[in-house]
Amino acid sequence: MSDKFEQHQKRQEKIKKAVDEKVAKATIEKGLFLVITGNGKGKSTSAFGTVARAVGHGQKAAVAQFVKGGWECGERNLLENAGATFFVMSTGFTWETQNRESDTQAAQAVWQDIKQCLSDDTIDLVVLDEITYMINYDYIDLDDVLMAIANRPKEQSVIVTGRAAHRKLEELADTVSEVRNVKHAFDNGVKARKGIDW
Ligand code: ATP
Ligand code: MG
């Protein structure tokens, strides 16, 4: 019993030492660029969780939602009330209607609005939700997005979400997470659920 206790104690001390060393080495302070991609569920909710974190600290956040579902979304209702600014594609791209011309126009309108935020140093966090699809469909120019993110104010953080993030976005990012689909209820015929899926 006491052997086990000692072993545990030693292991914890080792872990603490390694973590302390890493913490001591992390001295750079700057806004971060995060990419949350992959086929599993949890990309947008992760981004909105971070918006909640930021506004909870009194920071300013702006969100662009590039894919409009057929429903209102709970996170927008909450976070707009908490002071976050939202730009939403009101017309155009949904999974149902795919008219190239009107979709491009709608995507560009939101992009031009949120691009302003990417040069506004009073904004702490910018979320580009589902922008990967707009880039992969060529509705928004990849280089335009890369430039705007690369040249943003030094203290500003950016989160990009969406499946199949372009390699160049991942290269520019500080943190990249890939959410892997292990299983999803929808594949077993379960309907998208209020409060869970939107
Ligand atoms: P969430 O908004 O729940 O974090 P997400 O941003 O990771 O999901 P999207 O690809 O943006 O995923 O999908 C949006 C919607 O599709 C959500 O309602 C989500 O529950 C659902 N969804 C996500 N992943 C899958 C999947 N692998 N199969 C089926 N539906 C999915
Ligand atoms: Mg999403």
- Any ligand 1 atom below 6 A from CB of 190: no
Write down the pLDDT at residue 27: 87
Q: Whose CA is nearest to atom 15 of ligand 1?
A: 197
pLDDT per residue as tens digits for the range 72-100: 788 889 999 999 999 998 765 555 566 78
Write down the pLDDT at residue 2: 75
C-alpha 152 – ligand 2 centre gap (Å): 23
| Top-level class of domain 30-180 | alpha beta
Between CA 176 and CA 90 the distance in angstroms is 29
What are the residues whose beta carbons fall under 8 Å from the beta carbon of 162, sequence distance 6 or more? 37, 43, 66, 129, 130, 131, 132, 133
Write down the pLDDT at residue 3: 85
State the average pLDDT over residues 11-39.
Answer: 93
Q: Which-ligand-closest: CA of 48?
A: 1
Residue 26 pLDDT greater than 90, yes or no: no
Partnered with residue 61 across adjacent β-strands are 125
Closest of 83, 42, 78, 43 to residue 61, by C-alpha? 83
To test the pocket of ligand 1, the residue of 34, 36, 37, 41 to mutate (highest count of ligand atoms within 8 Å of its CB) is 41
Between CA 143 and CA 157 the distance in angstroms is 19
Domain ranges within the chain, ordered by starting residue = 30-180
Closest of 60, 67, 63, 58 to residue 77, by C-alpha? 63
Q: Is the pTM of this model over 0.95?
A: no
Partnered with residue 157 across adjacent β-strands are 125
